[in-house]
């Protein structure tokens, strides 16, 4: 049997990451009664414990020690921890406040923002068709701005925070597991302080919770850590353009769940917005084929 190539391994990680993210709204809806900061604290604390155990069992101390001795990488990981924390918070808030369609729209925009970040920070050039794709996305966002009279903040904060996170992690080239562990170490003190000092809800004391609820809370670590580790492994192995193709799995599932399972309203303005975004995505995906056809 042939060994998998690095690209094939990267594709496996990408599919795993985005499928978990795509189904994650079902999990967060189940725990919708939890205060958002309590939910986020559980995500951080259990992720920290799970990744710590993984490092111990895999014997990755030397890699951890190496990264801890590099101040520049630690600074970048501190910044990336803030970006991903922001992303987690907005995502959970959107799911629990019936704004799943806004979250879906944000993640559909994400690959196009990656293109813009490549232009600005990696000095990559955009083809004419890529400019067309980005312009169509801007038209879609503009429709929401005109309709709402304000920026669709969920649909912008989610993709920008995650795009910058992916850019940072790709630039510093830190081992996925170790990098995520260090990120959670940076934000864990805040989560621990909240859970043991601030939180006073009916679910904050796990000694009084049911076994089922506690199991679901602990599972927050799995839902948080594994897809992000898988994503980072994929980002290290795949070109941004290839990774961008897989990014449509999660928002597609979000869109289906929002409309079919949770009956979120899909009015004409949102349909118009999604139409322009999807047109931009089609141009982005089939850029080479369109270029050949036009010639």
| Domain presence at residue 1 | no
The per-residue pLDDT for 237 is: 84
User: What is the dihedral sign for C-alpha 180, 218, 23, 19?
Assistant: positive
Phi, psi (rounded to 5 degrees) for 218: -65, -35
Residue 7: inside a domain, yes or no?
no
Residue 16 lies inside a defined structural domain of this protein: no
Domain hosting 45: range is: 34-294
Please tell me the predicted confidence (pLDDT) of residue 281: 82
d(CA 295, CA 38): 56
Would you state the pLDDT for residue 241? Answer: 65
The closest alpha carbon to 264, from 25, 88, 102, belongs to 102
Establish if 21 belongs to a structural domain. no
Report the C-alpha gap between 9 and 203 in whole angstroms: 40
Report yes or no on 151 lying in a domain. yes
By the 10 Å C-beta count (0-12 exposed, 13-18 middle, 19+ buried), 25 is classed as buried
Q: Is residue 238 part of a domain?
A: yes
List Cα–Cα distances, 88 to 42, 45, 159, 245, 275, in angstroms.
12, 14, 12, 22, 26
Identify whether 207 is part of a domain: yes
What does the pLDDT read at residue 1? 52
Please indicate, yes or no, whether the overall pTM of this predicted structure exceeds 0.95: no
From residue 101, how far is each of 27, 97, 188, 259, 265 by CA, in Å?
Answer: 17, 11, 30, 8, 9
Q: Quick one: pLDDT at residue 46?
A: 95
**Over its length of 295 residues, how does the chain's per-residue pLDDT go in tens digits?**
566 788 888 889 999 999 999 999 999 999 998 999 999 999 999 999 999 999 999 898 999 999 999 999 999 999 999 999 999 999 999 999 999 999 998 888 887 888 788 888 877 777 788 888 888 888 888 887 777 676 789 999 999 999 999 889 888 888 888 999 999 999 999 999 999 999 999 899 999 999 999 999 999 999 998 998 898 888 888 876 677 678 888 888 999 999 999 999 888 888 888 899 888 888 877 777 777 777 6
122: helix, strand or coil: coil
Q: Is 28 helix (H, G, I), strand (E, B) or coil?
A: helix
Residue 240 corresponds to which tokens in the numbers above? 């941004």
Kindly state whether residue 120 falls inside one of the protein's structural domains. yes
Q: Name the domain count of the chain.
A: 1
């Amino acid at each position: 049997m042939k060994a998998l190539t690095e690209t094939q391994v990267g594709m496996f990680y990408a599919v795993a990451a985005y499928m978990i993210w795509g189904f994650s709204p079902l999990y967060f809806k189940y725990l919708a009664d939890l205060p958002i900061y309590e939910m986020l604290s559980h995500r951080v604390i259990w992720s920290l414990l799970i990744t710590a155990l993984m490092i111990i069992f895999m014997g990755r101390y030397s890699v951890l020690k190496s990264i801890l001795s590099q101040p520049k990488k630690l600074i970048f990981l501190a910044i990336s921890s803030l970006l991903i924390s922001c992303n987690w918070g907005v995502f959970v808030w959107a799911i629990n406040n019936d704004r799943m369609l806004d979250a879906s729209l944000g993640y559909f925009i994400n690959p196009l923002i990656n293109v813009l970040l490549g232009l600005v920070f990696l000095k990559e050039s955009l083809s004419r068709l890529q400019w067309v794709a980005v312009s169509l996305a801007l038209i879609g966002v503009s429709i929401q701005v005109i309709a709402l009279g304000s920026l669709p903040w969920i649909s912008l904060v989610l993709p920008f925070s995650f795009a910058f996170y992916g850019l940072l992690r790709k630039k510093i080239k830190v081992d996925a597991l170790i990098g995520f562990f260090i990120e959670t170490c940076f934000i864990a003190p805040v989560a621990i302080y909240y859970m043991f000092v601030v939180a006073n809800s009916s679910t904050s004391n796990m000694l009084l919770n049911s076994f089922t609820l506690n199991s679901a809370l602990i599972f927050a670590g799995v839902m948080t850590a594994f897809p992000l580790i898988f994503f980072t492994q994929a980002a290290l192995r795949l070109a941004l353009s290839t990774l961008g193709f897989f990014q449509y799995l999660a928002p597609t599932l979000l869109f289906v769940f929002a409309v079919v399972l949770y009956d979120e309203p899909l009015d004409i303005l949102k349909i118009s917005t999604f139409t322009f975004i999807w047109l931009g995505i089609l141009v982005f995906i089939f850029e080479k084929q369109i270029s050949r056809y036009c010639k």
